[in-house]
Amino acid sequence: MERINIGRVIAGGLVAGLVMNISEFLFNAVVMAKEVEAAMQSLNRPAAGGGEIARLVGLTFLVGVATVWLYAAIRPRFGAGVKTALTAGLAVWALVYFYSAVVGSTLGLFPASLSFVGAAWELAATLAAAVAGCAIYKEAVAPQPHRSLEYGRNT
């Protein structure tokens, strides 16, 4: 079995993370800005500031890297390509975004409508990010043995 190409995992993960971060910005600051603000006010919390946003952006890049790493890990079993990238993206979405939506709405932290609209938005974003990031991934090329000397032959 070939080793995971960590450089390509990071490169693809940064691409996936960029797609996810752009999507999160559009959702939270543009499309659902009023709903997000109202939800934060209901919790007596201020809007996220620069420090919180920076941590969330960094965390989202890590989710992108984890998505491509998962793709690389399952690729030998499922094969290379879009279907496997979508499988990795779906797994990450379920473990990160869907789980968070269920917990947030169950505990009453956020309205169910905001949580599940967000989860649906993130499903599309995570699948697109997975396809984009996993397209960067290629297996590492195994070093070939040096053939300049042939044993047992005098030339």
Per-residue pLDDT tens digits for 17-59: 999 999 999 988 888 778 878 878 777 777 778 888 999 999 9
Mean pLDDT for the stretch of residues 125-147: 85
pLDDT band at 70; cut points 50, 70, 90 = very high
Mean pLDDT for the stretch of residues 121-141: 94
Distance from C-alpha of 134 to C-alpha of 40, rounded to nearest angstrom: 34
Q: Does residue 104 register a pLDDT over 80?
A: yes
Q: Does residue 110 register a pLDDT over 60?
A: yes
Position 63: which residue type? V
Query: For position 150, what pLDDT does the model report?
Result: 53
Query: For position 62, what pLDDT does the model report?
Result: 98
pLDDT band at 146; cut points 50, 70, 90 = low
Q: Does residue 113 register a pLDDT over 60?
A: yes
Distance from C-alpha of 19 to C-alpha of 67, rounded to nearest angstrom: 12
